[in-house]
A and B are shown apart, each in its own frame.
Chain A
Amino acid sequence: MLNAYQETVFQFMLRDALLGLSIYLTLVTGMFSLANAGFLAIGAYISAVLWKYLGVPLEGALVIAPLACALIALPIGLPVLRLKDIYLAIATIGFGEVVRIMIINFDKIAQGVTGQPNLVITNGGAGISGIEKLAQTWQLILVLAVVAFLIYRLHRSRFGRAMAAIRQDERAAATMGINVVYVKVMIFVFSAALAGLAGVFDAFLARAIKPNDYGFTQAVNILAYAVLGGTSTLFGPIFGAFGLRVLPEALRFSQQFRGVLIGVLLLAVIIYLPGGLINPAAWNRLWVRLRGRRSGAVQGGG
């Protein structure tokens, strides 16, 4: 069996997989959003604050945090999703930064509003510590399995096809009777809720959270899960998340080497394997080509 350290690594793998699925949903709908780290932060802080000050347990946070993220995503998604590719990327990077700054300054605002000068909620840049490690491995496995199953079902529904249509040609999708705005906003909201869900586990795994854990670097990590695994199937980002957690551990990399690894992988995969590692079509083509070459060689020899 796993020792305590290995189990923690495994738990973080599962959390990362949830984040991978969160960005996967938006990517397969043709939205390049980097807002996931921001929603992860919101989910984690809501869980930590509710637990610390109101004693709300993990199970309660699993309901409240995703709902809160969804409610925040709705008014943001409606205007922001009219933007496309790099403009959407900039706007969502900006969103992540605003969330981080808001968390850092939350207490000052709250102090001003309530008139209580000593009120401490998010505790600024230092963050919240002393959270109990309540997250259980079986809970993470269960949640990930349910989420993956629901996404699988979503893919096979008319909305799954609509998502693919929007990614391939948004205007043609609209004239085929697909309500593009509705589908995109709904997927953005689901994606935010999923990141919020990961945030709950994040708070109850990490035991101490601070705003700088959820900055641009985190957004890049989440993107790396999807890029490494690819987005042709929902297993891609799960695999990518697992790989990017396990590989540095196995190689006993320091935090800095982890950054180097992520950078190199992002470059190499996009340049040489644009569909990511889990890409059945590409492997199939490679297989056909290799087999073709071998049978050609046999014929040539005979």
Chain B
Amino acid sequence: MISNEFLQQVVNAISLGAIYSLFALGYAMVFSILGVLNLAHSAVFMWGAFLGLITVTEIKLPLLLAFPVAMVGAGLIAVALDFLAFRPLRRRNAPRISQLIVSIGASALLVSLSQLTFGTDPRRFPFDILPSGAIQGLPFRVTLIQVIVLITALILMVLLNILVLRTRLGQAMRAVAFNQRTASLLGVNVSGIFASTFFIAGALAGIAGVLYGLTYNSILPFMGDQVALKGLTAIVLGGMGSIPGAVLGGFGVAGLERFSVAVGGSDYRDAVVFLILFLMLLVRPQGLIGQKEQTRA
């Protein structure tokens, strides 16, 4: 017999996992075409959350509009990052580490700008924006927010899947991921593909930010830091550039996190996640389902 407590943690894990997955997808997409980690991704996530928040609190638009605003806004921030930071380095054929450093710099910049704009105290959505009580008649507690999170995430994942596998854009993206030079010889507009990929990755991070902000109802400039490492763990679990891997990894990390809360209390949940990150890197850096890449010298 499955205990209610266990079932409850499964429900929480699925909802949290949906957010982590959306977020990790952006890491994975950029990694698959660029071969580099965009560590500013978590700052884009945070900006998405703030954009969604001010849509509701400052511009006084309904919550439903906060999602597209956050997606477009965060997507544009990500495209700007590509344009200002990554593109000059690509042109010069700079080493991967330079690209990593640039993304770290961009992250510091975006976080500081948000501190200047919004201050360092947590901001919140209006408390009555969504009914926070549990939905009645279920053997576990599930809130409307959790349902919205899951449905939104599923819709976006299905759309992304269609985009990558069924459209010309997706085909071009896969071609660039496979081999940039060949793709450009075949007439693919490589710069355009980079921009599109950054936009989609940013948009996913942006909406993940809004969903995260709604779930915990606390939005602040440093909110990206914790999610950044969860997302990294997710893509390391799933195999660095793998899109289905990122989704599985996201749910995996959330599962681990909720499970360690149930077993050892909330103090250890992050420690467990990072321990897994460590072990994965050492034992199977290609991920649980990824193919082998040269990760070692």
> Direct A–B touching in the complex (beta carbon < 8 Å)?
yes
Which one of A87, A227, A258, A270 lies within 8 Å of B285 (CB-CB)? A87
Q: A101-B274, A259-B115 given as contacts; is B104 within 8 A of A220 (CB)?
A: yes
Tell yes or no: A223 within 8 A of B by CB: yes
Which one of B92, B112, B281 lies within 8 Å of A256 (CB-CB)? B112
Closest to B84 in A: A267
Asked if residues A263 and B225 are in contact (CB atoms below 8 Å), the reply is no
Asked if residues A217 and B108 are in contact (CB atoms below 8 Å), the reply is yes
The segment from B18-26, B94-102, B167-175 found at the interface with A is: B94-102
Q: A84-B296, A171-B297 given as contacts; is B102 within 8 A of A267 (CB)?
A: yes
Task: Give chain B's interface residue range (CB within 8 Å of chain A).
Answer: 35 or more
Tell yes or no: A271 within 8 A of B by CB: yes
Q: Hey, which chain B residues are within 8 Å of A71, CB to CB?
A: none
Complex: how many Å from CA A257 to CA B106? Answer: 14
Q: Hey, which chain B residues are within 8 Å of A210, CB to CB?
A: none
Q: Which of B100, B110, B225 has the most CB of A within 10 A?
A: B100
Tell yes or no: B28 within 8 A of A by CB: no
Asked if residues A95 and B278 are in contact (CB atoms below 8 Å), the reply is yes
Asked if residues A84 and B295 are in contact (CB atoms below 8 Å), the reply is yes
Complex: how many Å from CA A97 to CA B232? Answer: 13
Which one of A102, A171, A216, A257 lies within 8 Å of B225 (CB-CB)? A216
Q: Hey, which chain B residues are within 8 Å of A97, CB to CB?
A: 229, 270, 274
Tell yes or no: B128 within 8 A of A by CB: no
The segment from A75-83, A188-196, A280-288 found at the interface with B is: A75-83
Asked if residues B84 and A83 are in contact (CB atoms below 8 Å), the reply is no
Complex: how many Å from CA A87 to CA B292? Answer: 14
Tell yes or no: A90 within 8 A of B by CB: yes
Q: Hey, which chain A residues are within 8 Å of B101, CB to CB?
A: 223, 227, 266, 270
Q: Shortest CB–CB separation between residue B64 and chain A, in angstroms?
A: 33
Asked if residues B84 and A101 are in contact (CB atoms below 8 Å), the reply is no
Which one of B88, B92, B106, B277 lies within 8 Å of A90 (CB-CB)? B277
Number of A residues near B (Cβ < 8 Å) is: 47
Q: A93-B232, A108-B267, A263-B112 given as contacts; is B96 within 8 A of A85 (CB)?
A: yes
Asked if residues A259 and B97 are in contact (CB atoms below 8 Å), the reply is no
Q: Which of B84, B92, B285 has the most CB of A within 10 A?
A: B285
Tell yes or no: A94 within 8 A of B by CB: yes
Complex: how many Å from CA A286 to CA B139? Answer: 72
Complex: how many Å from CA A95 to CA B229? Answer: 11
Tell yes or no: A68 within 8 A of B by CB: no
Q: Shortest CB–CB separation between residue A157 and chain B, in angstroms?
A: 23
Asked if residues B89 and A98 are in contact (CB atoms below 8 Å), the reply is no
Q: Hey, which chain B residues are within 8 Å of A266, CB to CB?
A: 101-102, 104-105, 108-109
Q: Hey, which chain A residues are within 8 Å of B225, CB to CB?
A: 215-216
Complex: how many Å from CA A263 to CA B81? Answer: 12
Of residues 82 to 138 in B, which have CB atoms within 8 Å of A's CB atoms?
A: 84-85, 88-89, 92, 94-98, 100-102, 104-113, 115-116
Q: Shortest CB–CB separation between residue B181 and chain A, in angstroms?
A: 21
Tell yes or no: A132 within 8 A of B by CB: no
Q: Hey, which chain A residues are within 8 Å of B98, CB to CB?
A: 270, 274
Q: A98-B271, A105-B271, A267-B105 given as contacts; is B100 within 8 A of A257 (CB)?
A: no
- Mark B33-57 against chain A: 1 for CB-CB distance below 8 A, else 0: 0001100000000000000000000
Asked if residues A87 and B109 are in contact (CB atoms below 8 Å), the reply is no
Tell yes or no: B282 within 8 A of A by CB: yes
Tell yes or no: B195 within 8 A of A by CB: no
Q: Shortest CB–CB separation between residue B188 and chain A, in angstroms?
A: 25
Q: List 17 A-B contacts (CB under 8 A).
A: A85-B97, A86-B36, A89-B97, A90-B281, A93-B232, A95-B278, A98-B274, A105-B271, A255-B115, A256-B115, A259-B112, A262-B108, A263-B105, A266-B101, A270-B98, A270-B102, A271-B102
The 4 closest A-B pairs by CB, nearest first: A263-B109, A266-B105, A259-B112, A263-B108
A residues within 8 Å of B by Cβ? 32, 79-80, 82-87, 89-91, 93-95, 97-98, 101-102, 104-105, 108, 170-171, 180, 215-217, 220, 223-224, 227, 255-260, 262-267, 270-271, 274
Can you name 6 extra interface pairs (CB under 8 A) apart from A95-B278, A223-B104? A89-B97, A91-B281, A94-B232, A94-B281, A259-B115, A262-B108
